[in-house]
Chain A
Amino acid sequence: MLFDYLPIIVLIIISTGLAGIAVLLGHLLGPRRPTLRKSVPYESGMRPIGPGARRMPVRFYLIAVLFILFDIEIIFFLPWAVVFKKLGLFGLVEMFIFIAILLVGYVYAWKKGALEWE
């Protein structure tokens, strides 16, 4: 029975291996000529301000939580879109219900002021 899961194991090994090999190859083959500029943490091209591990305003967490919530839920759209034709009307109705539930949370968050910075 466990044999059924063999592809998954193979997939895990291959993906881990590929990532490891890529990092390892870069590490082994790449030239290393560090300069001050180069060893500074990368911050989207601008010069870093202050230490990296400083305190963040708590609002970021709220935004992060909301992002995770809605983002992850939107990921459900993807598989749905793939099999949309097979599901037919039933799938459409299901998705509308799903969106409606999301919408309730969205309206709640909006009305509570969670989307406003101040």
Chain B
Amino acid sequence: MPNDLWLSIGAILPIIVLAVWACLLLLVDLFIPAQRKGWTASLAAVGLLITLAVILSRLGQSQSGFGGMVMVDNFANFLSILLLASGLAAIALSHDYLQRTGIERGEYYVLLLFSISGMMLMGMASDLIMVFLALELLSIPLYVLAGIAVPRLNSEEAAIKYFLLGAFASGFLVYGTALVYGASGSTSIAKIVQVIQAGQHNLTLLLAGAGLILVGLGFKVAVAPFHMWTPDVYQGAPSSVTAFMAVGAKAAGFAALLRIFVLAFPVVSLDMTPVLWSVAALTMILGNFVAIAQKNIKRLLAYSSIAHAGYILMALTPYGQSNVSADSVASALFYLVAYALTNFAAWAVVIALEQADERGLELSDYAGLGRKQPALAAAMTVAMLSFTGVPPTLGFVGKFFLFRTVIEGGFIGLALIGVLTSLVSAYYYLRVVVIMYMQEGEPVVRRDGWLYATAFVSSIGVVALSIFAGPLIALASRAILNLF
């Protein structure tokens, strides 16, 4: 066999390991009795850990494969590690929750692994076709996962909505890819860059293509006006799936957006910037203001997730300025980590309070949590403060970093909108805190070690990493994108 094939396979070895493990797990799971699905969960976690080990053993190298279709650089590795850690957190959140709500199936974990492998591929994809392939690989398992609580009606509804709209949005991505191909004669980012440098591209087609790619990926990360599926799907899907989806899909979507836009599309930045500006501003405003009216915690977190997509998109706005683009990437990655940790802390608490038949999800169910379960309430408080962006939490450091990038790029107005909407968000985030501590109530809480561990590790991480943020910032800054 040709030598570069081995190198290519070596480059995507982590994904291969994960996918093969998932396939085997699918078979092994057939022989695990229904009441012992904890084995499947553990095996899935082992698979993630092995993949993590493979990645960690090869850190620092940068390698492209399959004729430039994938690029395994620091950026991709950073994301892969984030995604694998998120996967582990998701498994920790899932097992007990699925069991007690009676929807535990072995396929759940297998689908999770497949989805993660798709997300990892998304971080590496340096060819528009690969982006599409990765998008489908990560999305299809998510569609199924959203509906895994069948026959619960709103779970089915969530799955079908997500699927239909996702397919709709994928269409735009493919159309955009086609237009870019039409404009430059290639789908490979490296070749597109060459063509653009040589000035042989068709600018109008390229612009339209870039716009459509933004739409397709914007749907995945839930920015306005492509966000409308988010509240319904987040509410309908099982909470553990939502927790994972919020982090994984966002991370993968932004990975592709960052790689494509920063590397391939600086030439259209003059025209794309106003679009990104308005989308980010609209997303932050809409997400934060509509969240105020929510009474259901899952819907609230869904709108919160939309708002945070807006914040991260804000970092992308100055992507075309070569002196800021590295900061764009670093601050977006850093914020993704901050969001992931905070998100898992919050969802762990949500899942701890959720009961069968979707009870325990109203904000009023959190009354008295501060007195009955001070530790959980503290974790939730940390998460809410981090979402708001109050020091000493990771959310604060992340927002600080983001705003700095945006201001460096010269978009003071956008940064101002970001700051003001953060202030607005304090209203609904802190309301959760107020309800937990100041209102009397008898919250029903599920005690589960993994759930608690996730809540505490994440919330402690949120605080500790904000105090010792240096190494994380350094890592994020080192995660630059490689073209070749």
Contacts and interface: CB of A to CB of B under 8 A. Distances in A.
Q: Do A and B truly interact?
A: yes
Interface in A90-118: 90, 101, 104, 107-108, 111-112
Contacts of A112: 30
A107 B1 contact: no
16 contacts: A1-B185, A89-B1, A90-B1, A90-B2, A90-B5, A101-B23, A104-B23, A104-B26, A104-B27, A107-B27, A107-B30, A108-B26, A108-B27, A108-B30, A111-B30, A112-B30
Interface in B18-51: 23, 26-27, 30
Contacts of A1: 185
A90 B185 CA distance: 29
A89 B1 CA distance: 8
A107 B30 CA distance: 9
Contacts of B30: 107-108, 111-112
Contacts, number: 16
Nearest to B22: A104
A104 B27 CA distance: 7
Contacts of A104: 23, 26-27
Interface in A38-95: 89-90
A89 B5 CA distance: 14
B302 to A, nearest CB: 31
Nearest to B185: A1
Contacts of A90: 1-2, 5
Q: Which 9 A-B pairs have the closest CB atoms?
A: A111-B30, A104-B23, A90-B1, A108-B26, A107-B27, A104-B26, A104-B27, A108-B30, A101-B23
Nearest to B30: A111
Contacts of A111: 30
A39 to B, nearest CB: 39
Contacts of A107: 27, 30
A104 B23 CA distance: 7
B457 to A, nearest CB: 34
Contacts of B2: 90
A102 B26 CA distance: 13
Nearest to A110: B30
B9 to A, nearest CB: 11
Given A90-B5, A107-B27, A108-B30, 4 more contacts: A90-B1, A90-B2, A101-B23, A108-B27
A110 to B, nearest CB: 9
A107 B31 CA distance: 12
A117 to B, nearest CB: 20
B66 to A, nearest CB: 13
A37 to B, nearest CB: 44
Interface string B1-18: 110010000000000000
A107 B26 CA distance: 10
Contacts of B23: 101, 104
A28 B91 CA distance: 66
- Candidate in A101, A108, A112 with the most chain B CB atoms within 10 angstroms: A108
B165 to A, nearest CB: 22
Contacts of B5: 90
B6 to A, nearest CB: 11
A111 B30 CA distance: 7
A90 B5 CA distance: 10
Contacts of B26: 104, 108
A56 to B, nearest CB: 20
A107 to B, nearest CB: 6
A89 B2 CA distance: 11
A6 to B, nearest CB: 16
A101 B27 CA distance: 11
Nearest to A112: B30
Contacts of A101: 23
Interface in B179-211: 185
A90 to B, nearest CB: 6
Contacts of A89: 1
Nearest to B202: A1
A101 B23 CA distance: 8
B289 to A, nearest CB: 43
A89 B185 CA distance: 32
A17 to B, nearest CB: 26
B192 to A, nearest CB: 15
Nearest to A90: B1
B180 to A, nearest CB: 14
A104 B2 CA distance: 28
A90 B23 CA distance: 22
B137 to A, nearest CB: 13
A112 B5 CA distance: 36
- Candidate in B2, B5, B23 with the most chain A CB atoms within 10 angstroms: B23
A104 B110 CA distance: 13
A112 B26 CA distance: 11
A107 B1 CA distance: 30
A104 B30 CA distance: 11
Interface in B27-86: 27, 30
A108 B5 CA distance: 31
A7 to B, nearest CB: 18
Nearest to A100: B23
Interface in B155-185: 185
Contacts of B27: 104, 107-108
A111 B107 CA distance: 13
A30 B274 CA distance: 63
A112 B105 CA distance: 12
- Candidate in A90, A101, A104 with the most chain B CB atoms within 10 angstroms: A104
